[in-house]
Structure 1
Amino acid sequence: MEMRIRIRGPAGQSSVTLDEAATIDDLRRQITDRTGLESYDVKYGYPDIKPMLLDGLPLGQKIADLGITLHGEQLIVTQRENSTQAPTRVSDEPPAAKQPLNLPVSDKIPNKGSPDDPPEVPSLEHSGTFVLRIMPDDNSCLFRAVSSATMGGVDVMTELRSVIAQTIQANPDLYSEAVLEKKPDEYCRWIQNEDSWGGGIELSILSKHFDIEICSIDVQTLRIDRFNEGAPLRCIVVYSGIHYDTIALSPSSPPFTHADVPPEFDTKVFDAADPLVLEKSLELCQILQSRHYYTDTAGFRLRCNICGGTFIGEKGATQHAEQSGHVDFGEAS
């Protein structure tokens, strides 16, 4: 029986097919060919991500003898720490196909304020410091923010998008065209595009998927939107109007005013019964608000950098993008 495996590397993902007699050497060659990496770590088994320790295995050993079912599995390949090799770009698609025709404008809108100096709020009660952990400025920031809290930052953007699509398909009465503002099948195709951003629907689905309360704090209004309220655990994401980040508690030394240890030691999932966590998070967001770390997407004047047209708010820019295919926007003077 053939094994069809997806290999997801730093520069993209591709699919490979191996026969039942394939060896560890065959798998390693495929990983290097597809990712361009010579020194790498491999993980598998979403949602229970586990390391796959290939280094110590005989090259001639059959994959079938590992006791692992790899057919249909995705291997997450990352460059090994301290390795300076630059990965080669790989993809199943030609470069032109990577140019999205309906790229969401959300992350193309310039954000006010600077995340270079994220605010920190001391918490004597928690013997630590609440800090904003900045997510990469791409169209997967919501998925990154949630996975950073619930899965320690493992790169499972594709899998989380699939969770959204599968949940929508399994609940047609709940996720109707009226709710999605698109036909369900169309929405499912759209959300699985790496250039599509998420919002309230995605937060609601992911909160139930991980059985956690997700509190989303809007920086502009300081409104808190709660998803899966009543769950015993909670995580907190921060919404700037166009971008999502995560709030973390970092262990620190008295007087707890500065997070002085690496993010690996963060706590991002909290007891929902602890009211101080939300209070400290709001305090942090008030600092962000004072720095204008948000974008008023409803009243923001945007200029299309391709045709020069001017539009009001995200809605106007999105309409223009859908009609013209133009996706490069900047702030109008």
Structure 2
Amino acid sequence: MEGIVVRRVIPSDNSCLFNAVGYVMDHDKHKASELRQVIAAAVASDKEKYSEAFLGKPNGEYCEWILNPEKWGGAIELAILAEYYGREIAAYDIQTTRCDVYGQEHGYNERVMLIYDGLHYDALAMSPFDGAPEEFDQTIFPVQKDRTIGSVEGLAFNLVKEQQRKRSFTDTANFTLRCGVCQIGVKGQKEAVEHAQATGHVNFQEYK
């Protein structure tokens, strides 16, 4: 297939992971609440697998937490969604150019791709040409015998390297954020989390 890999921007509303997955799986950027329900149901149904040690909080508490539209998803949620859709989810990290493939151990024969900038997930798609409308996007790719998705993988990696070169990522250990509620400045994810826990404020903006 001829074309280019493009980054499809997902709104920054704390549900970017879910809406990015919704887009690559179903061409729908508004699936967050539905996919949060899917995850809560999967976790609640297997308390042995999804133990407090695994989740970092008690099973029931986690299920309530993930249903909150203010909360962000990560590796646990991607692994569950890969299983739910029966497709691998490749997540490319711009800062390190590392690619984590969720669901790989199940031998699924299709893969979708996301890109992560340290705070935010966007969707990756194959477009016939630069500027083509999103309805022409291909987001699901057959996994080949060598467990790659062929030339698309190289194109995706080149895009990720290009984004890294442009420094289109957030260094979560050292970035500076301002609390949107009380305007206090914090440095790094750790301080932001501590401030959020102390105040209940979750609206942070990055500032340089």
Tell me the TM-score normalised to structure 1 length: 0.58
Query: Alignment identity in percent?
Result: 41
In the other structure, the counterpart of 2:186 is: 311
Q: Residues 310, 212 of structure 1: CA spacing in aligned structure 2 closer, same or farther, 3 A cutoff? A: same
SS of 1:189's partner is helix
Question: How many pairs are equivalent?
Answer: 202
In the other structure, the counterpart of 1:272 is: 143
Q: Alignment partner for residue 74 of structure 2, among 189, 196, 199?
A: 199
Q: Deviations over 1:291-319 (max 9, x none)?
A: 11110112223343544544331122112
Contact 2:82 2:102 in 1 (8 A): yes
In the other structure, the counterpart of 1:246 is: 123
In the other structure, the counterpart of 2:197 is: 322
- Paired with 2:4 and 2:162, the residues of 1 have a C-alpha distance of 14
- Paired with 1:185 and 1:154, the residues of 2 have a C-alpha distance of 27
**What letter is aligned with 1:243?**
H
- Give the CA deviation at 1:234: 0.2
- Paired with 2:70 and 2:140, the residues of 1 have a C-alpha distance of 27
Instruction: Report 1:98-247 matches (<5 A).
Output: 126-153=1-28, 155-229=30-104, 230-247=107-124
**What letter is aligned with 2:119?**
I
CA RMSD across the alignment = 1.7
Q: Residues 152, 302 of structure 1: CA spacing in aligned structure 2 closer, same or farther, 3 A cutoff? A: closer
- Paired with 1:251 and 1:169, the residues of 2 have a C-alpha distance of 41
- Paired with 2:73 and 2:44, the residues of 1 have a C-alpha distance of 17
* Structure 2 unaligned residues grouped into runs of 5+: none
**What letter is aligned with 2:56?**
E
Q: Deviations over 1:191-248 (max 9, x none)?
A: 1111111100110000000000000000000011110113110000000011001111
Q: Answer 1 or 2: higher relative contact order, Cα 8 Å, separation at least 6.
A: 2
Q: Residues 182, 134 of structure 1: CA spacing in aligned structure 2 closer, same or farther, 3 A cutoff? A: same
- Paired with 1:302 and 1:267, the residues of 2 have a C-alpha distance of 35
* Structure 1 unaligned residues grouped into runs of 5+: 1-125, 253-258
- Paired with 1:306 and 1:261, the residues of 2 have a C-alpha distance of 39
Instruction: Report 1:12-27 matches (<5 A).
Output: none
**What letter is aligned with 1:271?**
P
Contact 2:4 2:155 in 1 (8 A): no
**What letter is aligned with 1:267?**
Q
Q: Deviations over 1:88-146 (max 9, x none)?
A: xxxxxxxxxxxxxxxxxxxxxxxxxxxxxxxxxxxxxx221211111111111111111
Tell me the TM-score normalised to structure 2 length: 0.90
